[in-house]
Structure 1
Amino acid sequence: MQWKKAIFSLLLVIFVLVVLLAGLNSGFAHFLANTYHGSDTISSIELPRNAQGVRQDEMVSTKVYLSWNDSLLAASDNQSQGDTIQNIKNRGALRVGYNLGFL
């Protein structure tokens, strides 16, 4: 076996793979940059208007948290047993969340 040729071939294959992967990564990053607009879709959702023409989100106070805080759960989840609808009414809040990766 010719060790010099084998090592040279192996190094050449590794080099070509590294260059190919780096090129693909760079190309995808360039051509696919800023193509995700899921958060814009969520942000632009408007609730329907009631019979008086007032949107539901104008009648109910809302608060948006951009990250999860454990104190949010502890402060508002003291009635975790029983009927879900009754718990929401007792709490006075409906918590809604979504996973950024799977809108």
Structure 2
Amino acid sequence: MGSTHHPPSISRHSSIATNPPLDRTKVKDYLLLSVLACFCPVWPINIVGFVYAVMSKNSLEQGNLDGAVRLGRVAKMLSIVSLVGGTVIIIACIVNLASECPKSDL
């Protein structure tokens, strides 16, 4: 039984060669942004964003920079959606309450 030697796959190495190594200090977990988003009234979305931010922070601490970047991107997106959605909801509530208040004739 002879073993055949397979040359290393070029396609596997090309993605590593084109992507520069990630700098640990430049990877963001967006934890502060997700904490701020938790104050917006879009609870399922901002809680999930916070969980992704914590997972990104844990991945960064474990040295998984790729995972930290991917999880951080999701945390950032969910936090921004929460902030925008929460702002719209708060403004809509203020406008609604202002329109229902009786106006005094002074």
Tell me the TM-score normalised to structure 2 length: 0.30
Richer in helix (by share): 2
Structure of larger gyration radius? 1
Which structure carries more relative contact order (alpha carbon 8 Å, separation 6+)?
Answer: 2
TM-score (norm 1): 0.31
